Amino acid sequence: MINTILTIALALIFLSIAIIIYRFMLGPSSVDRVISFDMMTIASISIIGIISYMSDRVIYLDIATVYGLLSFLAVIIIAKYLEKGL
Amino acid sequence: MELFGALITLLGSIILLIAAIGLVRMPDVYNRLQVGTKASTMGTLLSLLGIAIIHPTWAGKLIILILFVLFTNPVSSHVLARASHYINIRISKRTVVDKLKVTDRAFKVGEVKK
Amino acid sequence: MKNYITIFVILFFVWFLLNNTLQVEVLIVGLIVSALVTTLVGVMLCVKCNVFSDLKYTPKAILNTFIFLAVFFIELVKSNIDVARRVLAPTRPINPGIVEVKTKLKSKFARMLLANSITLTPGTLTIETRGDSFFIHWIDVKDINVEKASNELIRKFEKYLEEIYD
């Protein structure tokens, strides 16, 4: 029962990532693409959390933390680059 | 109890789906940022909270992850909004007022007069 | 001094949550590592970091912290209902604009918390801070006057943050 509900949740998050990829290809400016990238990362953190429960490995949560940290730094650096140039 | 946690995770994924739809439907960068930040923060928060309810021994790491997302996501959206205003991204035609642009222009005129 | 004690407590709390155990050896290693990192930050890396030094630890401030958190989470839920309504409605009911509000807060950390709270509340997004002014993108502009917009948008958080910080 729980696994079924979690599988439906995974499918919904994958569907949302597919919709975000549409905006990623469409996006008229570079900032739109950065926003899409950021939101894909956030959705991926949810996916990693659910998969870590379904395969029963706590180590995946550490990977999610590091992944979020790297994406945050990447967004900050890209915004800094767009604003003034490195 | 476990069923309750699974339903909270499902609610979080539905909110993430709403965020994705909003990202496609909104007309300009700032509105996309608004929708994206709020809904994706709440969606991830609810998904991880649901996992924490299902599996309470992992709650520590999940709480750290939730706090991390809650602090960093608004900061990154703020930085992106500032950068997009700085490089003059086209703003939607439905915008009513842009006080930041007015202030910038006054600032520049004042500098020229000095 | 208060600054370093706060950093130490936060580091040790993160260590405890990451290890998720009550074994004495792990806790002792955590204490040593937290003390080491706090000294390193205080002595070598950044001497002028005084982010936490204007926190107050009176009972009134702690009570206000909990009220602030409660208000914040209620606003977060409200903002998501609002976002869902705006996204799924067929006519896209938006009326966006950038307005200016003035804050009375002086502390840097309190201003960061205020900006983050504004970003997560219904229909607002902080874009730029200049001096005492915050420039806010508002998805449904009701009033462009500075005073009235401040009352509408930030007063609900500011009155608690004023009690917590100097």
Chain B residue with minimum CA distance to A32: B29
Give me the residue from C76, C94, C98 closest to B98, CB to CB: C98
pLDDT at A2 over 80: yes
Q: How far apart are CA A22 and CA A27, in angstroms?
A: 8
Instruction: Name which residue leads in pLDDT, A6 or B1.
Output: A6
Average model confidence (pLDDT) across chain C: 81
pLDDT at C95 over 70: yes
Q: Give the SS3 label for residue C58.
A: coil
Q: Which range in A68-77, C96-105, C153-162 is most confidently predicted, on average pLDDT?
A: A68-77
Give B114's pLDDT tier (boundaries 50, 70, 90): very low
Q: Give the SS3 label for residue C94.
A: coil
Give B2's pLDDT tier (boundaries 50, 70, 90): confident
Percent of chain B, pLDDT > 70? 81
Instruction: Name which residue leads in pLDDT, B26 or B107.
Output: B26
Give me the residue from A22, A32, A75 closest to B29, CB to CB: A32
pLDDT in tens, C114-148: 888 888 888 888 888 887 788 888 887 777 777 77
Boundaries of every domain in chain A: 2-84
Interface test with C, best of B99, B104, B108 (most C CBs within 10 A): B99
Chain B residue with minimum CA distance to C84: B18
Residue C7's pLDDT is 83
Q: How far apart are CA B27 and CA B23, in angstroms?
A: 9
Chain B residue with minimum CA distance to C128: B82
Q: With contacts defined as CB-CB under 8 Å, which chain A residues touch B75? A: 72, 76
Q: Between chains, do A31 and B68 touch, taking CB under 8 Å as contact?
A: no
SS3 letters across chain B: CHHHHHHHHHHHHHHHHHHHHHHHHCCCHHHHHHHHHHHHHHHHHHHHHHHHHHCHHHHHHHHHHHHHHHHHHHHHHHHHHHHHHHCCCCCCCCCCCEHHHHHHHHHHHHHHHC
pLDDT at A86 over 70: no
Residue B104's pLDDT is 67
Residue A73's pLDDT is 92
Q: What is the mean pLDDT of the segment spanning B93-112?
A: 64
Q: What is the mean pLDDT of the segment spanning A41-52?
A: 91
Residue A70's pLDDT is 92
Give C48's pLDDT tier (boundaries 50, 70, 90): low
At position B45, the amino acid (one-letter code) is L
Residue C138's pLDDT is 82
Instruction: Name which residue leads in pLDDT, A60 or B101.
Output: A60
- Among A72, A73, A14, C120, which residue's Cα sits nearest to residue B35? C120
At position C22, the amino acid (one-letter code) is L
Is C93 within 8 Å of C86 (Cβ atoms)?
yes
| Contacts with B, A 2-21, CB within 8 Å | 2, 5-6, 8-10, 12-13, 15-17, 19-20
Q: What is the mean pLDDT of the segment spanning C141-161?
A: 75
| Residue C24: CB atoms within 10 Å | 8
Q: What is the mean pLDDT of the segment spanning B64-92?
A: 85
Q: What is the mean pLDDT of the segment spanning B74-96?
A: 80
- Among B89, B41, C140, B7, which residue's Cα sits nearest to residue A29? B89
Q: Between chains, do C125 and B18 touch, taking CB under 8 Å as contact?
A: no
pLDDT at C151 over 70: yes
How far apart are the CA of A76 and the nearest CA of chain B, in angstroms? Answer: 6
| Residue B27: CB atoms within 10 Å | 15
| Residue C36: CB atoms within 10 Å | 11
Chain A residue with minimum CA distance to B71: A72
Q: Is B48 on the interface with A (CB under 8 A)?
A: yes
Counts for chain A of helices (H) and strands (E), in that order: 3, 0
Residue A1's pLDDT is 83
| Contacts with A, B 79-98, CB within 8 Å | 79-80, 82-84, 86-87, 89-90
Q: With contacts defined as CB-CB under 8 Å, which chain B residues touch C17? A: 60-61, 63-64
| Contacts with B, A 23-52, CB within 8 Å | 23, 26, 28-29, 31-32, 34-36, 38-39, 42-43, 45-46, 49-50, 52
Burial of B6 (0-12, 13-18, 19+ CB in 10 A): buried
pLDDT at C156 over 70: yes
Residue B112's pLDDT is 46
Residue C32's pLDDT is 92
pLDDT at A30 over 50: yes
Chain A residue with minimum CA distance to B24: A23
Q: How far apart are CA C26 and CA C21, in angstroms?
A: 8
How far apart are the CA of C30 and the nearest CA of chain B, in angstroms? Answer: 15
Give me the residue from B26, B42, B101 closest to C76, CB to CB: B42
Residue C161's pLDDT is 78
Q: With contacts defined as CB-CB under 8 Å, which chain B residues touch A86? A: none
Residue A18's pLDDT is 92
Joined tokens for residue B104: 């910038």
Is A30 within 8 Å of A82 (Cβ atoms)?
yes
Give me the residue from A35, A52, A83 closest to B32, CB to CB: A35
